[in-house]
A and B are shown apart, each in its own frame.
Chain A
């Protein structure tokens, strides 16, 4: 019973997903690693959320055992030449009890630059040997939380060492304790820094590769009466807000044809307005029966036209009929007599 997705920026990204049948993705836990690399250039948050939605719609599998999944996109900033990602968690509702929170990020192996062995003076012109690069450098994930509009770097909430992956892939980390503690302290702005210990490496990533957070929760208020309106009935923030339009506050931008009609002015008769225009080519406007517009299983008896009208009608029908059939005068007289 579900129709295609609303035409919105997400549909393009999500359509890409629908067309792409990656067997690996359709298996296993969404929070597990996936093999989408940069070449996948899909909006991972949209892809992930759509997968959870489809899983629920098709199989009724409740996401994370709860009834709510919120995704949070990163806002990327450079601090001391390092990329720091900020997450605004303020849209979480008080009634939403956090079950798990996962941090999803794309990581690649980072090989340190090859080291040069000091060349001996005497063998100056001998080619200096390059030492083989050492093991890939370890990465750290640092999480800080801050309340809105504080200038400080925030309170360090957690640090995780990352095992460098053999190749570039998306990984997920459970950050439930970090998010729960930050929320308890009312600090709903979270920052994450992927630190590999080397300066200048925090080069900003394309937004498609930016990390994101998923929070699986159980909304206790969802069984309250009218809960769907609490979250989905909104006043259209994108509308220009011209009060003249007279449209209902949460009316969508594209006016839809109303299925009912408004009576303009006092009702005079039971006719639907706008229907009394007759097609211009109608031969007998005054014979034009409105009820012939509505297919009606019960045909009303039509009044018999007078004798003269009948004859005239027959002739008209005759004149208008196909030029092929015509009769001589004698036959016509006989027919008339009959």
Chain B
């Protein structure tokens, strides 16, 4: 964690279903790389954080300081990937579902 950049970026997170108590009915995968977003979205924001126009203006308003109480934009997932999960339903039949937005591909300031 010590050498992660301060600016908004994707951070590594592996989610183990056993940690959240779902492993009894999830057959596969046992764990997956979910990632998460964290970091600053301060003015001036570099292009790498892909700010929306609104986020850019919000950061300027905050930097100028005339309007009090405006927070900096948030570092949130931008592009995300789906994940197929094989699990047992209540009747112990095997079900396959493809859940969208399960792992982070890119982060952005919004």
Binding site for B on A (CB under 8 A): 1-6, 8, 10-11, 14, 45-46, 49-50, 52-53, 56-57, 62-63, 67-73, 88, 90-91, 219, 222-223, 227-228, 231-234, 236-238, 248, 250-254, 256
Q: How many residues of B contact A (CB 8 A)?
A: 36
Which residues in B have some Cβ–Cβ distance to A below 8 Å? 14, 17-33, 84-91, 93-100, 102-103
List the 7 closest pairs (A to B, CB-CB), nearest first: A2-B29, A1-B33, A3-B30, A67-B98, A252-B21, A56-B84, A49-B94
With A and B bound together, what is the CA distance between A9 and B21 in angstroms? 18
Is B97's CB under 8 angstroms from A68's CB? yes
Residue from the list B20, B31, B96, B97 in contact with A3, Cβ < 8 A: B31
Q: Which listed residue (B19, B32, B96) contacts A256, Cβ 8 A? A: B19
Question: CB distance A232 to B28 under 8 Å?
Answer: no
Q: How far is the CB of A57 from chain B (nearest CB, A)?
A: 5
CA distance A57 to B96 in the complex (A): 11
Known contacts A49-B94, A49-B96, A223-B100; A233 and B27 CB within 8 A of each other:
no
Is the beta-carbon distance between B100 and A68 smaller than 8 angstroms? no
| A248 and B96 contact, CB distance less than 8 A | no
Contact B30 A222 (CB under 8 A): no
Question: Inside 8 A of A56's CB, which chain B residues have their CB?
Answer: 84, 96, 98
CB pair A68–B24 under 8 Å, yes or no, is: no
Q: Considering only CB atoms, which chain A residue lies closest to B90 in the complex?
A: A91
Instruction: Please indicate the chain A residues that have their CB under 8 angstroms from the CB of B17 in the complex.
Output: 6
- Contact status A6-B95, CB under 8 Å: no
Question: Is B94's CB under 8 angstroms from A233's CB?
Answer: no
B87 to chain A, nearest CB (A): 6
Cα A124 to Cα B70 in complex, Å, equals: 110
Whether A70 pairs with B26 at a CB distance below 8 angstroms is: no
25 A-B pairs whose Cβ atoms sit less than 8 Å apart in the complex? A1-B29, A1-B33, A1-B103, A2-B31, A5-B27, A6-B23, A6-B24, A8-B27, A8-B88, A14-B27, A14-B28, A45-B93, A50-B86, A53-B96, A56-B84, A56-B96, A63-B98, A68-B97, A70-B89, A222-B98, A228-B99, A236-B24, A238-B24, A250-B21, A254-B18
Contact residues in B for A10 (Cβ distance below 8 Å)? 27, 88, 94
Kindly list chain A residues whose C-beta atoms are within 8 Å of the C-beta of B87. 231-232
Q: A56-B84, A232-B26 are in contact. Are A67 and B97 (CB under 8 A)?
A: yes
Q: How far is the CB of A161 from chain B (nearest CB, A)?
A: 29
CA of A186 to CA of B18, assembled, Å: 37
CB nearest neighbor in A for B34: A1
Contacts known (A250-B21, A253-B24); A68 close to B95, Cβ less than 8 A: yes
B24 adjacent to A227 (CB under 8 Å)? no
The interface centre, meaning the residue of B20, B27, B85 with most chain A CB atoms within 10 A of its CB, is B27
Asked if B93 and A91 make an inter-chain contact with CB atoms under 8 angstroms apart, the answer reads yes
Number of A-B contacts (CB under 8 A): 122
Residues of B within 8 A of A222 (CB): 97-100
User: Which residues on A sit within 8 Å (CB–CB) of B29?
Assistant: 1-3, 57
Given contacts A53-B84, A234-B25, A252-B18, are A6 and B30 in contact (CB under 8 A)?
Answer: yes
Complex CA gap A99/B40 in Å reads 45
Q: A1-B29, A228-B102 are in contact. Are A73 and B93 (CB under 8 A)?
A: yes
Q: When the two chains form their complex, are residues B27 and A6 in contact, meaning their CB atoms are under 8 A apart? A: yes
Other than A50-B86, A73-B93, give 15 A-B pairs with Cβ distance below 8 A.
Answer: A2-B29, A5-B27, A10-B94, A45-B94, A56-B84, A68-B96, A69-B95, A71-B93, A88-B91, A228-B102, A231-B89, A234-B25, A236-B21, A250-B21, A252-B21
Whether the Cβ atoms of A232 and B25 lie closer than 8 Å is yes
Most buried by B among A11, A14, A49, A248: A49
Q: Which residues on B sit within 8 Å (CB–CB) of A11?
A: 27
Would A5 and B22 count as touching, CB distance under 8 A?
no
Query: Which of B27, B87, B90, B96 is most buried by chain A, counting CB atoms within 10 A of its CB?
Result: B96
Whole-angstrom distance between the alpha carbons of A270 and B31 in the complex? 33
B90–A2 CB distance below 8 A:
no
- The answer to whether A91 touches B89 (Cβ under 8 A) is yes
Of chain B, the residue at the smallest CB distance from A50 is B86
CB-contact partner of B96 in A8, A52, A228, A237, under 8 A? A52
In the complex, residue of chain B having the shortest beta-carbon distance to the beta carbon of A216: B96
